[in-house]
Structure 1
Amino acid sequence: MLSSPVIHLSKATFTLSAPDIRRLPEDSGIEVAFAGRSNAGKSSALNTLTNQRGLARVSKTPGRTQLINIFEVAPNRRLVDLPGYGFAKVPIEMKKKWQKALGEYLEKRDCLKGLVILMDIRHPLKDLDMDLIQWAADSDLPILALLTKCDKLSQGKRSAEVLQVKKALASLNADITVQAFSSLKYTGLETANDLICQWLSADLPTDLPESEEF
């Protein structure tokens, strides 16, 4: 029996950590990158999406992701955890070093095909967030804006924040999906999972034996 190939994020496995793009795997296949301010809950979101509690290290001190972390989901299909930006309480020289790594990855990595930008739903669209969103829009890169920690707001307030962010980004005329997300309550998990898997499935054969589903 033949069926469309399926990507399963739960199959993600840690591959390597790199201080810069020169240490990354060959620039081929498809990568979906995760970026956000250091206190946006990026590691928790990655663990929830992959259904693996310890895949990405969660620290009580925001900003501990100082390297580019690669997770392979299927052959030549990877999730990329980029260094956090903004909030981190670290020496300025260290911050500059890993911000350079983030910038180089975004500008030079050809296999990057989708960008997940994580923002605390209570403090979205800060200057650095907008810089990143504008860059992705200008690069015709599809964006999933995950508004994290939405369990901290009432349903009404949550919906209002999502609507406000959608309105603020509408003028960019870009491929942007805005979704409230909670790693604790699993809010928005299905929508985020489906979109990321769709990006990772691009260019795969349309018909594969079920045994070859990823």
Structure 2
Amino acid sequence: MSSNPLQRARFALAAHKVTQLPDDAGAEVAFAGRSNAGKSSALNALTGQRALARTSKTPGRTQQMVVFTLDEHTRLVDLPGYGYAKVPESLRAHWRKEIDAYLNQRESLCGVVLIADIRHELKEFDRQMLHFCSASGLQCHLLLTKADKLSRGQAAAAVERARTLCRREGWPASVQSFSSSAGSGLESARGTIMEMLEGTPDAEASA
């Protein structure tokens, strides 16, 4: 089994505002997604650490920008889950503003891992993120989670639908299926994340 380069991830800080983040230097990859897409579980599986990112049965628990360091120059940033109705509108407005500022102003941001549930069509937030990354020249990797809930054929079809949508819209995102619980897609996703951090973008990840 190959070594996991993301296993070095360690909690650094949790920020309510972009201004509270570490110095804007080096390279970082952000994890974004709707509140119930399995973002925390994906982060734990990718890093090989069961409790790195806090998981919960209640969607929307991630209400801060959580920074994990790999070394002094590279970081992973877990953005607040988006779209959960029980979060007060004032807080949702705050996070819309802060996430927008982060995506537009963060010079060290070199890629986004967009987490979406493979069982559902991409939501408006997912499409907006794909469009933003494309318009900004920012590499985006679409991670279709919970693939273990579908048959292999169904999962492959969902990946192809997402790739077709990206091609039609002109979004140069890579797409793959993934399962935190089954451990499928881990090596491919880890490789893509490291390529983002090292500045060697992957053309298109395999399913």
The two structures share one fold, judged by TM-score above 0.5: yes
**Aligned twin of 1:130:** 127
Q: Displacement of 1:155 after TM fit?
A: 0.9
SS of residue in 1 equivalent to 2:70: strand
* Counterpart amino acid of residue 78 in structure 2: D
Alpha-carbon contact 1:140-1:175 (below 8 Å) kept: no
Q: Distance in 2 between matches of 1:41 and 1:11?
A: 21
1:177 to 174, 179, 194: 174
**Aligned twin of 1:206:** none
> Which structure 1 residue ranges, 4+ long, deviate > 4 Å from structure 2?
none
Q: Distance in 2 between matches of 1:7 and 1:172?
A: 34
Q: How does 1:91-110 map to 2 (within 5 A)?
A: 91-110=88-107
TM-score (norm 2): 0.92
**Aligned twin of 1:67:** 64
* Counterpart amino acid of residue 113 in structure 2: V
SS of residue in 2 equivalent to 1:74: coil
Alpha-carbon contact 2:131-2:171 (below 8 Å) kept: no
Q: Distance in 2 between matches of 1:25 and 1:110?
A: 12
1:51 to 40, 44, 48: 48
**Aligned twin of 1:156:** 153
Identify if the C-alpha distance between structure 1 residues 7 and 104 changes in structure 2 by more than 3 Å, giving closer, same or farther: farther
Q: Distance in 2 between matches of 1:146 and 1:102?
A: 19
Q: Distance in 2 between matches of 1:107 and 1:7?
A: 30
**Aligned twin of 1:167:** 164
Identify if the C-alpha distance between structure 1 residues 99 and 76 changes in structure 2 by more than 3 Å, giving closer, same or farther: same
Summarize deviations over 1:135-184 as a string: whole Å, max 9, x none. 01000111110001111001111111110110011134343110001000
- Is 7-16 or 45-54 further displaced after alignment? 7-16
Q: Could you list the runs of 5+ residues in structure 2 that have no partner in the other structure?
A: 201-207
Which protein shows a greater Rg? 1
Q: Displacement of 1:88 after TM fit?
A: 4.3
2:78 to 77, 81, 88: 81
Q: Displacement of 1:7 after TM fit?
A: 7.9
**Aligned twin of 1:198:** 195
- Is 173-182 or 51-60 further displaced after alignment? 173-182
**Aligned twin of 2:204:** none
What is the aligned length?
A: 198
Alpha-carbon contact 1:158-1:180 (below 8 Å) kept: yes
Q: Percent identity?
A: 47
2:36 maps to 1:39: yes
Summarize deviations over 1:11-45 as a string: whole Å, max 9, x none. 00000000011001111100100000000000000
Q: Distance in 2 between matches of 1:195 and 1:44?
A: 18
2:19 maps to 1:22: yes
* Counterpart amino acid of residue 8 in structure 2: K
Q: Distance in 2 between matches of 1:176 and 1:124?
A: 16
Q: Distance in 1 between matches of 2:80 and 2:91?
A: 11
Q: Distance in 1 between matches of 2:147 and 2:85?
A: 21
Q: Displacement of 1:202 after TM fit?
A: 3.2
Q: What is the root-mean-square deviation in Å for CA atoms of aligned residues?
A: 1.5
**Aligned twin of 2:6:** 9
Alpha-carbon contact 1:142-1:174 (below 8 Å) kept: no
**Aligned twin of 2:203:** none
**Aligned twin of 2:109:** 112
Q: Which has the higher contact order (CA 8 A, sep 6+)?
A: 1
